[in-house]
Amino acid sequence: MSEIIKVEADAVLKIKEFTIVNDCFQYKSNEEIGVIWGALIICHLLTAVILTIFETIKDRIIQFFIMQIEFKSVITCPECNFQKEETMPTNACQFFYTCEKCDTLLKPKKGDCCVFCSYGSVACPPIQEGNQNSCCN
């Protein structure tokens, strides 16, 4: 993705460079030509800085837009430490869960929206998505 942006940026700079070079022939003073070439060098430097910044944050950008949501979570009972992998609901929060081993009824801890956020190895899908105003609230 960054390679495409770099190619496009280079193409734009070449077009601007050609325009600036053509404009230089119309100026009579070397001072004006120097100012134009200085501006061209600054454009090249700014492009390099922008591309470097993009390279630094591109993984975060990709992770933000192409987030992997996990739908399986291992619930651990706080009473007997029994663990079981469960599939989390995607359209609702699960407020109660009964432990298969000791029959303890699990409820979300204060501040958590569901049993997966309280006792699971993975937070529920709405929280993974960063949706604080989900059905969980």
Q: What value, to the nearest 5°, has the Cα angle with vertex 116 and ends 115 and 121?
A: 135
Query: Would you kindly state where each structural domain of the chain is located, as residue ranges?
Result: 2-65, 72-128
pLDDT of 18 over the 60 cut: no
- Tell me the per-residue pLDDT of 76-124, one tens digit each, with 9 for 90 and over: 999 999 999 999 987 778 999 999 999 999 999 998 889 999 999 999 8
Q: What is the pTM of this model?
A: 0.51
Task: Count CB atoms within 10 A of the CB of residue 31.
Answer: 8
Rounded to whole angstroms, the Cα distance separating 119 from 86 reads 11
The pLDDT-based confidence of 53 (bands split at 50, 70, 90) is confident
Q: What is the pLDDT of residue 93?
A: 82
Q: Which residue has the higher pLDDT, 127 or 86?
A: 86
